[in-house]
């Protein structure tokens, strides 16, 4: 069995002293040296860092992916951008699992010096160990590897290193180097959780949550303008949608007029980006749509997506110009001024404690879903099913907004159960919306016969998939309204001071 160990030595002088000590016991043969500048990347949400991974490239188009204690080097790669751009299938797969569609962005540069040595014995000058010393701005890492059959020599070399009392590295050297440069992930979260005291007046709690969500709106604007990746727009819209949902559901506490103003102002910002988001979704799902149809329709479908890509370029420029415009800045200023004064005129109910109100709202929404679901059968019109979907969405928002006020595990269990139902209802709705959108596109654009044929074929497949989801609705509703979930919701919402 080959023996190997790694050690961290922060004092460069101590590294030199150990090398000198090794020369007294071995022939120390330098076998190579590499100087390099590594540019490290992560996405806007620091998904690599948060998953104990690092990614870097050098000027020779060589990249390195580090995951925990494992690292792999890939030569002849492209300039880092998106996971699917890379040449090596293994690298592409590993990065896509971590990043999905997010763009890699540079975060720091680190200078490295790697020295390779062969340790040979004095008797017959046989190679008994390999030594690699990697030096960065933070420290040296020593990696000693014994050759098969020379365990005694390995232990002797290791003893020299251990006399210097090196540290066992808790993280990869490059991560430690980045930390020494002050590199650390941002606190950004796509769905930020806001800690509020259970007894905080509900109107104040809503204002505090809305202000936190508004930061997400602003922080994503520059990524949209630069068109870094489509997730900036998506998360911008999510933040606007969550704010609207918060004010709409809590209007009786914040005040009807103020809540309505926020709903309209936030909706105005979101509407400006509707078409761009639609095009992003279509283009992200291009391969999925192609897989749904036989190859004889692929030509028409690819032509359609080429049209979408061209339209997207135009639409993206329009949205970017809007976000830069003075008109947009004036709307932002009005929102921020109103938000800073919120709640301007809260109702009497707005003085109630947030936990009690949240518990009551969650239970009420769940009962509403149960009441509507009891009327659903296989022949129920689609419109009524869509109404239940909207109620589920409202419940999900309530659980996301106010979940931190309740038992963490119970909240997670209820959300998981709700998510299964929402996935079913969401797909049912999405297939319907996609069909209508594609058919509307044909009506409003002059397109080739190949595109028409492909769209009609795709609409037919989407209709079949929609019906399959519809067939599962009753079972999914029954699962969400089962006794165990009902009991869990009741337990979750049983809080001190809750007026049931």
Does 193 share its domain with 266?
yes
Taking residue 54's Cβ as centre, other Cβ atoms within 10 Å add up to 23
pLDDT of residue 495: 53
Residue where a domain terminates, one of 292, 327, 347: 347
Q: What angle do CA 299, 301, 302 make, to 5 degrees?
A: 65
> 3-class SS at 131?
strand
Domain that holds residue 219: 189-347
Residue where a domain terminates, one of 347, 365, 384: 347
pLDDT of residue 176: 84
- Below-70 pLDDT ranges, the chain: 1-2, 495-500
Does 302 share its domain with 329?
yes
Contact 359, 204 (CB under 8 A): no
Does 62 share its domain with 167?
yes
pLDDT of residue 167: 78
Whole-number Å distance between alpha carbons of 354 and 402 = 9
Does 204 share its domain with 336?
yes
Q: What DSSP state is assigned to residue 87? A: S
Does 434 share its domain with 455?
yes
pTM: 0.89
Six token digits for residue 63: 């990249």
pLDDT of residue 500: 32
Whole-number Å distance between alpha carbons of 8 and 416 = 43
Does 161 share its domain with 238?
no
Does 371 share its domain with 258?
no
Tell me the helices (H) and strands (E) count for the chain, helix number first. 19, 8
Residue where a domain terminates, one of 180, 214, 237: 180
Six token digits for residue 109: 């540069």
Nearest residue to 139 (alpha-carbon basis) of 166, 109, 106: 166
> Taking each helix axis from N to C terminus, what angle separates 408-444 and 483-492, rounded to the nearest 10 degrees?
110
pLDDT of residue 498: 41
Over the stretch 255-295, which tens digit does the pLDDT of each residue have? Answer: 999 999 999 999 999 999 999 999 999 999 999 999 999 99
Q: What DSSP state is assigned to residue 68? A: T
Task: Count how many domains the chain has.
Answer: 3
Which sign does the torsion angle of CA 448, 450, 452, 458 carry?
Answer: negative
Does 322 share its domain with 419?
no
Does 10 share its domain with 114?
yes
Strand segments (E) across 210-329:
none
Does 194 share its domain with 328?
yes
Does 343 share its domain with 210?
yes
Q: What is the CATH number of the domain that holds 488?
A: 1.40.20.10
Q: Dihedrals φ, ψ of 54, to 5°?
A: -135, 150
Contact 148, 7 (CB under 8 A): no
Does 108 share its domain with 142?
yes
pLDDT of residue 1: 57
Contact 146, 129 (CB under 8 A): yes
Whole-number Å distance between alpha carbons of 111 and 310 = 41
């Amino acid at each position: 069995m080959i023996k190997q160990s790694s050690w961290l030595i922060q004092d460069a002088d101590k590294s030199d002293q150990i090398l000198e000590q090794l020369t007294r016991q071995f022939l120390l043969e330098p076998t190579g040296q590499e100087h390099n500048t590594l540019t490290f990347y992560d996405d806007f949400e620091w998904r690599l860092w948060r998953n104990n991974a690092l990614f870097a490239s050098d000027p020779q188009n060589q990249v390195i992916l580090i995951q925990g204690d494992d690292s792999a080097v890939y030569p002849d790669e492209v300039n880092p951008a998106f996971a699917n751009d890379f040449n090596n299938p293994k690298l592409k797969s590993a990065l896509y699992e971590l990043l999905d569609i997010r763009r890699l962005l540079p975060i720091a540069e680190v200078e490295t010096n790697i020295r390779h040595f062969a340790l040979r014995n004095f008797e017959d000058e046989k190679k008994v160990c390999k030594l690699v010393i990697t030096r960065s701005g933070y420290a040296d890492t020593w990696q000693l590897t014994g050759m098969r059959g020379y365990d005694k020599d390995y232990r002797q070399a290791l003893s020299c290193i251990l006399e210097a009392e090196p540290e066992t590295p808790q993280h990869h050297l490059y991560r430690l180097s980045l930390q020494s440069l002050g590199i650390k992930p941002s606190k950004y979260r796509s769905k930020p959780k806001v800690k509020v005291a259970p007894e905080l007046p509900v109107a104040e709690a809503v204002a505090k949550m809305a202000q936190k969500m508004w930061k997400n709106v602003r922080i994503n604007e520059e990524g949209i303008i630069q068109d870094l990746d489509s997730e900036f727009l998506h998360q911008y819209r999510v933040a606007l949608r969550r704010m609207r949902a918060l004010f709409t559901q809590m209007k009786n506490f914040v005040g009807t007029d103020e809540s309505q103003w926020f709903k309209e102002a936030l909706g105005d910002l979101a509407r400006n980006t509707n078409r761009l988001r639609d095009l992003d979704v279509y283009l992200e799902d291009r391969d999925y749509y192609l897989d749904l149809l036989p190859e004889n329709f692929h030509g028409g479908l690819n032509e359609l997506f080429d049209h979408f890509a061209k339209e997207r370029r135009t639409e993206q420029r329009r949205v970017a110009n809007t976000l830069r415009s003075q008109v947009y800045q004036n709307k932002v200023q009005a929102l921020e001024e109103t938000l800073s004064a919120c709640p301007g005129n809260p109702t009497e109910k707005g003085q109630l404690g947030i936990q009690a109100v949240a518990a009551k709202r969650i239970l009420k929404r769940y009962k509403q879903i149960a009441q509507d679901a009891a009327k659903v059968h296989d022949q129920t019109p689609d419109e009524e099913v869509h109404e239940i979907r909207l109620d589920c969405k409202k419940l999900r928002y309530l659980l996301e907004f106010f979940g931190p006020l309740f038992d963490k595990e119970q909240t997670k269990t209820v959300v998981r159960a709700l998510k299964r139902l929402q996935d079913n209802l969401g797909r049912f709705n999405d297939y319907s919306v996609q069909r209508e959108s594609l058919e509307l596109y044909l009506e409003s654009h002059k397109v080739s016969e190949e595109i028409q044929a492909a769209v009609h074929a795709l609409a037919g497949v989407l209709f079949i998939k929609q019906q399959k989801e519809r067939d599962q609705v009753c079972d999914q509703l029954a699962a969400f309204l089962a006794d165990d979930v009902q009991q869990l919701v009741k337990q979750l919402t049983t809080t001190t001071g809750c007026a049931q």
